[in-house]
């Protein structure tokens, strides 16, 4: 059996851990530039605020019901996510982190009567140790576990855990589930299925998988098999090393000068390189990209790929290359609205190929980076940084209502009086 552990209203729940005054109130978390609602508390959902709703469209509801609007703080949520995952890792035989707020657990080998009590203990401990409420669905396949988790979330009687271990349970859940809510069935496909009369997950599960394959694809055939209880998606205990690291931002105001654009890109490089080092990896290539707003004026977008002679995680080396990239893609007269970097060709440090002609002194570079990371982790982000970067430059986002970095910056720790 598999379990899917899903954090409830994750971003909102993170905020509530440190601000209990937000409990039982309508709360939404906003995307970058405070544009759209990307997470909603149950109270906000009840007011009819839709996922992804643009803030300017829901101003009336926000004012009338005093909805708390919070600017998203992704590094904070990432940190809370790691805490949740580490509790799961400790309590279950094997875990596959699926997204920032979801993880699959492999529960094979656990006697059936133990499944529910185990998941209830997991749920209690995650809540107690991290403050985050989760819902858990248990089922024979990943697709069914996803469906079970949504039942666990929706119905109070389930008390946060739903075990789907019989045909009867499977039927009653799938009959009430829209085909579009099935894991892996996108909007297009769901329209097509509905047109064919397959409007519920149950009806889709009753189809002949081979027939579905002819009509659609092998991926959808797998979905049907999974709905029938035949596992098709393998469990990956440890996901592969990530293939790429992206660090990018939309700007609060359009950036028109080269210096500011460089400050932004250099800051992105620093973030990306720090991530590489924290994972013990190095990159051999970096892409720098920037674009104007697609909605205003003439659209301009450009990018450049730079391949390095040696894989590295040295912020200095990567920054130097990225700055050349910015020179290349910058265009006078363009108001840049977004820029970013992507590190690729990522490999583990241990795979490093020594280069006889390398000009980079690896030992020196490594101790400098270690010292920088140590300083920044103990004394606060960006305490020591490269002069080209400027984390508080003109390009910064408008995050008017962002909560403090409670868990990752000593200076912003919560003070209890």
Closest CB 196 distance from Mg ion, rounded Å: 30
Closest CB 7 distance from Mg ion, rounded Å: 5
Span of 1-9, 19-27, 151-159, 211-219 interacting with Mg ion by CB under 5 A: 1-9
Nearer to Mg ion, 15 or 101 (CB): 101
Closest CB 201 distance from Mg ion, rounded Å: 19
Positions 50 through 69 that interact with Mg ion (CB under 5 A): none
Positions 195 through 234 that interact with Mg ion (CB under 5 A): none
Task: Look at residues 255, 247, 394, 400 and name the one whose alpha carbon lies nearest to residue 337.
Answer: 255
Nearer to Mg ion, 6 or 274 (CB): 6
Residue 376: DSSP 8-state: H
Three-class secondary structure assignment of 141-209:
CHHHHHHHHHHHHHCHHHCCEEECCCHHHHHHHHHCCEHHHCCCCCHHHHHHHHHCCCCEHHHHHCCCH
Task: Name the phi and psi angles at 8, rounded to 5.
Answer: -75, 130
Other C-beta atoms closer than 10 Å to the C-beta of 233 total 17
Residue 402: DSSP 8-state: B
Closest CB 134 distance from Mg ion, rounded Å: 8
Side by side, the strands of the sheet bearing 27-30 are 37-40, 27-30, 68-71
Nearer to Mg ion, 8 or 71 (CB): 8
6 sits near Mg ion (criterion: CB under 5 A): yes
Closest CB 393 distance from Mg ion, rounded Å: 34
Nearer to Mg ion, 40 or 275 (CB): 40
Contact 134, 84 (CB under 8 A): yes
Span of 5-13, 165-173, 211-219, 291-299 interacting with Mg ion by CB under 5 A: 5-13
Nearer to Mg ion, 101 or 282 (CB): 101
Task: Name the phi and psi angles at 254, rounded to 5.
Answer: -55, 140
Q: How far apart are CA 392 and CA 105, in angstroms?
A: 40
Per DSSP, the residues of 74-133 read: HHHHHHHHHHHHHHHHHHSS-EEEEETTEEEEE-TTS-HHHHHHHHHHHHHHHHHHH---
Nearer to Mg ion, 36 or 261 (CB): 36
Nearer to Mg ion, 143 or 312 (CB): 143
Span of 10-18, 193-201, 243-251, 338-346 interacting with Mg ion by CB under 5 A: 10-18
Span of 3-11, 234-242, 319-327, 393-401 interacting with Mg ion by CB under 5 A: 3-11
183 sits near Mg ion (criterion: CB under 5 A): no
Nearer to Mg ion, 7 or 318 (CB): 7
Residue 210, exposed/middle/buried by CB under 10 A (0-12, 13-18, 19+)?
A: exposed
417 three-class SS: coil
Give Rg (Cα) of the chain: 24
Span of 38-46, 98-106, 154-162, 186-194 interacting with Mg ion by CB under 5 A: 98-106
Closest CB 153 distance from Mg ion, rounded Å: 8
Span of 96-104, 176-184, 268-276, 403-411 interacting with Mg ion by CB under 5 A: 96-104
Nearer to Mg ion, 6 or 15 (CB): 6
Residue 375: DSSP 8-state: H
Q: How would you classify the pairing of strands 336-344 and 245-255? A: antiparallel
For the record, the structure tokens of 416 come out as 């209890």
Positions 99 through 158 that interact with Mg ion (CB under 5 A): 101
Closest CB 133 distance from Mg ion, rounded Å: 10
Span of 7-15, 51-59, 81-89, 267-275 interacting with Mg ion by CB under 5 A: 7-15
Closest CB 9 distance from Mg ion, rounded Å: 7
Nearer to Mg ion, 7 or 62 (CB): 7
Binding residues for Mg ion (CB under 5 A):
6-7, 10, 101
């Amino acid at each position: 059996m598999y379990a899917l552990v899903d954090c409830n209203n994750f971003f909102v729940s993170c905020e509530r851990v440190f601000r209990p005054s937000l409990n039982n109130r309508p709360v939404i978390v906003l995307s970058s530039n405070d544009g759209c609602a990307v997470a909603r508390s149950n109270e906000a959902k009840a007011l009819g605020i839709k996922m992804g709703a643009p803030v300017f469209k829901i101003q009336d509801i926000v004012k009338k019901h005093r909805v708390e609007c919070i600017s998203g703080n992704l590094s904070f949520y990432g940190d809370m996510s790691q805490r949740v995952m580490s509790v799961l890792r400790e309590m279950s035989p094997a875990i596959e982190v699926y997204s920032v707020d979801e993880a699959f657990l492999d529960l094979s080998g656990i006697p059936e009567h133990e499944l529910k009590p185990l998941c209830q203990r997991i749920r209690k401990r995650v809540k107690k140790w991290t403050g985050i409420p989760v819902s858990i669905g248990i089922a024979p396949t990943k697709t069914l576990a996803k469906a079970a988790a949504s039942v666990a979330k929706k119905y109070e009687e389930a008390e946060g855990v739903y075990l789907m271990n019989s045909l009867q349970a499977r039927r009653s859940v799938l009959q009430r589930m829209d085909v579009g809510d099935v894991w892996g069935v996108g909007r297009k496909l769901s329209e097509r299925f509905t047109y064919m009369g397959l409007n519920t997950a149950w009806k889709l599960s009753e189809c002949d998988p081979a027939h579905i394959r002819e009509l659609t694809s092998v991926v959808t055939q797998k979905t049907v098999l999974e709905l029938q209880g035949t596992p098709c998606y393998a469990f990956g205990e440890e996901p592969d090393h990530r293939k790429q690291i992206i660090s990018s931002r939309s700007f609060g105001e359009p950036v028109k000068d080269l210096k500011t654009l460089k400050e932004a890109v250099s800051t992105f490089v620093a973030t990306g390189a720090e991530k590489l080092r924290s994972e013990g990896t190095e990159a051999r290539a970096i892409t720098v990209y920037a674009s104007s707003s697609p909605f205003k004026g003439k659209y301009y977008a450009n990018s450049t790929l730079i391949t390095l002679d040696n894989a590295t995680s040295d912020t200095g080396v990567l920054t130097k290359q990225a700055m050349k990239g910015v020179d290349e893609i910058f265009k006078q007269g363009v108001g840049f609205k977004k820029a970013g970097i992507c590190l690729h060709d990522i490999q583990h440090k241990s795979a490093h190929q020594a280069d006889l002609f390398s000009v980079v002194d690896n030992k020196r570079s490594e101790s400098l980076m270690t010292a920088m990371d140590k300083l920044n982790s103990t004394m606060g982000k960006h305490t020591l940084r490269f002069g080209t970067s400027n984390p508080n430059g003109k390009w910064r986002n408008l995050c008017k209502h962002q909560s403090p970095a409670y868990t990752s910056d000593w200076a912003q720790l919560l003070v209890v009086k």
